[in-house]
Structure 1
Amino acid sequence: MKKLHYILLFISIGTIQAQSIQSPSKSITLDFKLSQNGKPNYTVTYKNKPVILESFLGIKLKGGIDLASNFKIEDTKKSTFNETWQPVLGEQANIVNHYNELTISLSQTKVNIKMNIVFRIFDEGVAFRYDFPKQQNLNYFIISDEVSEFNLAGDNKVFWIPGDFDSNEYAYNETLFSNINTEKIDLNNGIGVKSISGKYTVQSPLMMKSANNLYLNIFEAAVVNYPVMHLDADVTNFKLKSHLVPNAIGDKAYLQAPCVSPWRTIMVSDDARDIVSSKMILNLNDPSKIDDTSWIKPMKYVGVWWEMHVGKATWDYAGSQNAQNTSVNDMKPTGKHGATTANTKRYIDFAAKNGFDGVLVEGWNVGWEDWFGNWKEEVFDFVTPYPDFNIAEVSAYAKSKGVKMIMHSETSGSVANLERHLDRSFENMKKYDYPAVKTGYVGRIIPRGEFHDGQTMVNHFNFVARRAADYKLMVNSHESSRPTGYSRTYPNYIAAEAARGTEFNAWSNGNPPMHETILPFTRLLGGPMDYTPGIFEIKMSHYDVSKKEQVHTTLAKQLALYVTMYSPLQMAADLPENYEKYADAFQFIKDVAADWDESKYLEAEPGDYLTVARKTKGKESWFLGAITDENPRKTEIKLDFLMPNKKYKAIIYQDGKTADWKNNPINYEIKTMQVTSKSKLKLVLAAGGGTAVSFVPIN
């Protein structure tokens, strides 16, 4: 009897120490328990297949306090949440947020500190975060490390970029997990500032595919007052561990209870479309804190930008040789300055003629002569234009044409300088009726020693969005940390770059054809990307016969990107004269929407192909984009997403019969046919190619 009593007691304790929770559809199961030394750990399965093996959790505080072991469970709580909410701008008019939640209340027995671990289980994945309640033994504290683990079930195929604290502008590597090695990548890639943290450190979001055809993505959501999480890879044992970006003195995060960490996310499915269409990252962020959002609007724009990348014009007014200790009024202009009043008016005329909402002008303001590489504090004041750019005249001209101007504020990495001038800059924007700003963060960060992905910079990027909201201004950040869904909370944070964009094709080894088939599975999970597509003159030899660089797509794929790369802020990035040269293809860019009621991911395979159909917000028109990697592809698409019993005119922009991204990229065809929801479209995509289709209802 004593022996039986002991066994029953053991089972009782084991039951208290372990918890299990499933997703609403019951396809995902998460099991949590404490090990014998009080170490919290979890496992994840998908349809009874192992996804995450036993993985430990915890936080370490500066001063030697270990919040990763010696815990006991004080309480557990389960709940269910189900809502449908409406984003201000987005891929869907309605987003379902449905999950089951498990909260584990823990107490560290040696230091008597309480910490909760909160799990949310969605049908597309698992999220967890650390919650530090208000308590006597924990007020201000410093995170020295986070030991969240993701113990994988095998040697997955993985799409990765190196764990660089200062840049996410890398082309993706496609290898087995066991072959991750940042020392083997080509660093002659056009990235100006690199801070790669380790041989086996990679960035999240990390997209993977297992040998048994499960798609897996590890990321984070709601990064607020916390550094970005990179991942240390144990390539022998197929494990990942969180790697927080440090500040200038090596600390990771300064916090005060009560507070929470960002969510760590694990998406999993046997259908790649579930990953790429997931709204889980957005759902894990707080609802909008902006009451009146009527001023937040989608924009399609052109701008004085690509001509500088291709060498036709310059950002600077006088050239670097005239920069030192010379006032702008004494500078001798080079004659190549792009941001002149006359040139800007030309873009305004083009925008007005073709129905575009805005015009971006880079290089309009004083400071570009010696802005890069000097780690200089006071480069720009964000309000003073060059002598050949009359901001009042340009603003008045744009207003007369019904076009909005988009401000450009490059910081040269001097973030403290921007913050000192931020309100003055925003007041200047309001004075001249600029509704949106593109911020830039090229260079090493000032305050010196900080990284783009550290807590200080995360706080800065979020602060700019919040402060802009006070002025009813929209923000598009470039060279920022990658978004993690904060655009739900501040929907005026309309877009970001935060990945390797189109411009790299103009002056580096560029973006390989598979690049755009990976970004929707990685960078775009956290929010819209200002990828700046629409390049029609693919080869840079068009501007200089000695140049070998080119965009690594066909022209038809450039059109398809307006559908596959979601953003409510879309640039027609090429020069006006190039669009006039290919006016029939340009019609698709003029027609395509930037805000949507519905999005259907029809086909998806990371690194290979993607096909998306989207319904225009408030209209019955649809647009379809299909892209492929370096391999040609044939496919047949059902049009059952169209309204039943209605006829549509389908205008198909496709690769020509001899099209090829490298050898014949501008070969395209346009054809028109009548279709219904019962029709099928046969698509033929060239190597590095794509197809774009507009569906217009026939009344």
Structure 2
Amino acid sequence: MRNIFILLFALGVSHLSAKEYIVKSPDGRIAVNVETGTSTTYSVDFNGKNVLASSALSMTFDNGTVIGQNMRVNKVERLSVDRILKPVVRQKCAEIRDQYNEMILKSSGYDVHFRVYNDGVAYRFHTDFGRPLKVMSEEVTYAFPEDYNTLFPEERTMLSPQQPLFPEKKLSEIATDKFCSTPMLVKVDEKTRLFISESDLENYPGMFLQKQGKNELGGKFAAFALEEEKTEGRQCFPTKRANYIAKVNGTRNYPWRAMIIAEDDANLITNQLIYKLAPEAEGKDYSWVRPGKIAWDWYNACILYDVDFKAGINTDTYKYYIDFASCYGIEYVVIDDGWSEEWDVTKTIPAIDLEELVAYGKKKNVDLILWVSWVPFEEKMDEAFAQYSKWGIKGLKIDFMNRDDQRVVDFYYRVARKAYDYKMLVDFHGAYKPTGWSRTFPHVLTSEGVAGLENHKWASYVTPKHNVTLPFTRMVAGPMDYTPGGMFNLHEKDHKIWFNLPATIGTRCHQLGMYVVYESPLQMLADSPSSYYREEKTMDFLSPVPVVWDETRVLKASVGEYIVVARRNGDIWYIGGMTGEKGQTFEISLDFIEGSKTLTSWEDGINVDLNARDFAKKTRMVKQGDKITVKMYDGGGYAAIIK
């Protein structure tokens, strides 16, 4: 009886010391309930339903300090913000409404910020310890009230280019030793979706998620790299790691732990929570940033035909690419792997004359972007930037990082800042997902971190279903360099693997639809210029389609099944559609256009069942309120221009 009394007394003291704080979204539909005491936890309700159960958060430092545990709140600050953001690069739209309520719980030496939007929730720690520390661990918990379905992008190692598939699994089906990269999507019910990722990842490792307890996921972070070894392929991997995850200044903000809450699949496409949480653009002048399309060489292995020179990595070949880009108004040509000495990225191979190519491109309004592997580039970063600037290079495609521990995350930020100084665009490959770069560094126009078109060169797992999953998963985090535009199209059942002459899975219009559905302010045309020259009707779409948008409307959407999106650039509307395994037919109302217009469409052809490349180009007059039929075959697509 004495032991029971002591236990009850202790529970009573704990209950009395626990305190509760609530912050709601501006529209009142999302409520975050924070409890402090022995541990700090938060839970989230959406439309009166609990979607995130009590989830603990804390950080442990090398001096023994554990913030978030036994927290004494000295002060609570609240603020409301409602403003319009005008992005430098219009990824989805010309204006973004940034509206939220924020609650800051202030304790001794640290604060916890909870920010609640109408479409999501985020929290972060801020410390003010005054001296450098080491972060031993961070406790990030997502405890769900039920056994939800997830799209779980499983990883086998944290040394990863983060190009996962997104198989659907119930929480109960995920073993406790399994983990995934972020972003990750959770299906609460038939409509409601939770999307978990992070923003403002400076000077800190990226977050993975590992199955913990029943219906619970927890943050997993790569340990700090103490020693590294260069490997074949111009890469670099840790050979010794510390028992901590980050070295930090005592006074700093930590990354936002972000959870988007979407009413349905369509709302995921237009959500910009990751962008809104990121810091403002660091630079003052971005007038030089020029989004655009890129003629790309690596996917098509520089294989040209009907030419009078030997194709390959040489000056004549890239002049041909420049001629093609100029012919169709394409802004850039990327010169991929092979142009430089293997370990000296300031020296070209003898067959390439970059100064001649830059001058040739300038006459035709086409600029050059160079591919580099990150390890040799980092070794000569200052010298390389100066040399590329002298040559007249306009951007970099940086590859093979395949890590997001603190040391490599720091590399991204150093590159972004140095590239701004030299007025160069950046495309990160072999990259972790975007964490708000589009806002902080508008010249970082796109990144990989996606299982894209190039996978067709060696595998058949990038299917139409996968393609129609990406807009609701990876793309929600930010622009993705999927590299669409393959002209050799096969149905999934017919697909064969050819490394140098790759074939895509899905119809020709499936590829065309990507240029409206997929967001990337640097958008590749992956196939050979020789092939595009013979596809005049296809180029009638690929030539004018833009890469930035003033307005986005999602017309139809279902994860992994179908998507139809309308986007406006100026006064011209573009429609892109894609299906997964099964074809779809939709009646679409053109209530978003004004007046009478000409609609030109590219549709799966009458014989597309026999040949995935079959399509029909059609033209008709339409006016506001008219209905059009969008019919897409299995693995099919649709594209249209309304002007």
TM-score, normalised to structure 1, is 0.83
Deviates more, 1:58-67 or 1:632-641: 58-67
- What secondary structure is seen at the aligned counterpart in 2 of 1:58? strand
User: Does residue 1:241 correspond to 2:218, yes or no?
Assistant: yes
Deviates more, 1:426-435 or 1:94-103: 426-435
- What secondary structure is seen at the aligned counterpart in 2 of 1:242? strand
| Residue number in structure 2 paired with 1:363 | 337
Deviates more, 1:158-167 or 1:339-348: 158-167
| Residue number in structure 1 paired with 2:534 | 581
Conserved 8 A contact 1:553-1:665: yes
Shift of 1:294: 0.5
What amino acid is the match of 1:17? K
CA distance 1:231–1:22, shift in 2 (3 Å): same
Which runs of structure 2 are paired with 1:98-497 in the superposition (5 Å)?
98-107=99-108, 114-135=109-130, 139-163=131-155, 164-165=157-158, 166-180=160-174, 199-211=177-189, 213-234=191-212, 237-248=214-225, 249-250=241-242, 251-308=244-301, 312=303, 338-367=312-341, 379-411=342-374, 414=375, 417-441=376-400, 452-497=403-448
Give per-residue Cα distances to partners, 1:13-67, cap 9 Å, x unaligned: 96981111110111100001124xx210111000001110111111122354433
Conserved 8 A contact 1:68-1:147: no
Shift of 1:167: 2.3
| Residue number in structure 2 paired with 1:187 | none
Q: Which runs of 5+ in 1 are unaligned?
A: 1-9, 108-113, 182-197, 314-334, 368-378, 443-450
Q: Determine the C-alpha separation between the residues in 1 that align with 2:585 and 2:500.
A: 33
Shift of 1:545: 8.1
Which runs of structure 2 are paired with 1:608-619 in the superposition (5 Å)?
608-616=561-569, 619=570
- What secondary structure is seen at the aligned counterpart in 1 of 2:453? coil
Q: Determine the C-alpha separation between the residues in 2 that align with 1:536 and 1:383.
A: 34
Q: Determine the C-alpha separation between the residues in 2 that align with 1:469 and 1:484.
A: 18
Shift of 1:203: 1.4
- What is the identity percentage for the equivalent residue pairs of Structure 1 and Structure 2? 27
Q: Determine the C-alpha separation between the residues in 1 that align with 2:26 and 2:433.
A: 29
Q: Which has the larger strand fraction?
A: 2
Shift of 1:580: 2.1
Shift of 1:134: 3.9
CA distance 1:180–1:583, shift in 2 (3 Å): farther
CA distance 1:15–1:543, shift in 2 (3 Å): closer
- What secondary structure is seen at the aligned counterpart in 1 of 2:468? helix
Shift of 1:204: 1.2
What amino acid is the match of 2:582? N
Give per-residue Cα distances to partners, 1:603-656, cap 9 Å, x unaligned: 22222222111111xx2101011111111111111111212xx11111111112
Q: Determine the C-alpha separation between the residues in 2 that align with 1:547 and 1:437.
A: 24
What amino acid is the match of 1:352? S
User: Does residue 1:526 correspond to 2:485, yes or no?
Assistant: no
CA distance 1:398–1:546, shift in 2 (3 Å): closer
Deviates more, 1:119-128 or 1:511-520: 511-520
User: Does residue 1:686 correspond to 2:633, yes or no?
Assistant: yes
Conserved 8 A contact 1:364-1:389: no
CA distance 1:542–1:269, shift in 2 (3 Å): closer
Conserved 8 A contact 1:205-1:523: yes
- What secondary structure is seen at the aligned counterpart in 1 of 2:612? coil
Conserved 8 A contact 2:564-2:578: yes
Conserved 8 A contact 2:588-2:630: yes
- What secondary structure is seen at the aligned counterpart in 2 of 1:591? coil
| Residue number in structure 1 paired with 2:618 | 671
| Residue number in structure 1 paired with 2:56 | 56
Conserved 8 A contact 1:46-1:269: no
| Residue number in structure 2 paired with 1:508 | 459
Conserved 8 A contact 2:186-2:193: yes
Equivalenced residue count is 607
- What secondary structure is seen at the aligned counterpart in 2 of 1:622? strand
What amino acid is the match of 1:22? K
Measured on the aligned residues, the alpha-carbon RMSD in Å equals: 2.5
Shift of 1:546: 11
- What secondary structure is seen at the aligned counterpart in 1 of 2:382? helix
CA distance 1:380–1:591, shift in 2 (3 Å): same
Conserved 8 A contact 2:460-2:497: no
Q: Determine the C-alpha separation between the residues in 2 that align with 1:216 and 1:460.
A: 30
| Residue number in structure 1 paired with 2:77 | 77
Q: Determine the C-alpha separation between the residues in 2 that align with 1:585 and 1:269.
A: 35
- What secondary structure is seen at the aligned counterpart in 2 of 1:687? coil
CA distance 1:201–1:545, shift in 2 (3 Å): closer
Q: Determine the C-alpha separation between the residues in 2 that align with 1:400 and 1:121.
A: 51
Q: Determine the C-alpha separation between the residues in 2 that align with 1:542 and 1:389.
A: 35
Conserved 8 A contact 1:509-1:549: no
What amino acid is the match of 2:328? N
Q: Which runs of 5+ in 2 are unaligned?
A: 1-11, 226-240
Q: Determine the C-alpha separation between the residues in 2 that align with 1:545 and 1:635.
A: 35
Q: Determine the C-alpha separation between the residues in 2 that align with 1:150 and 1:545.
A: 42
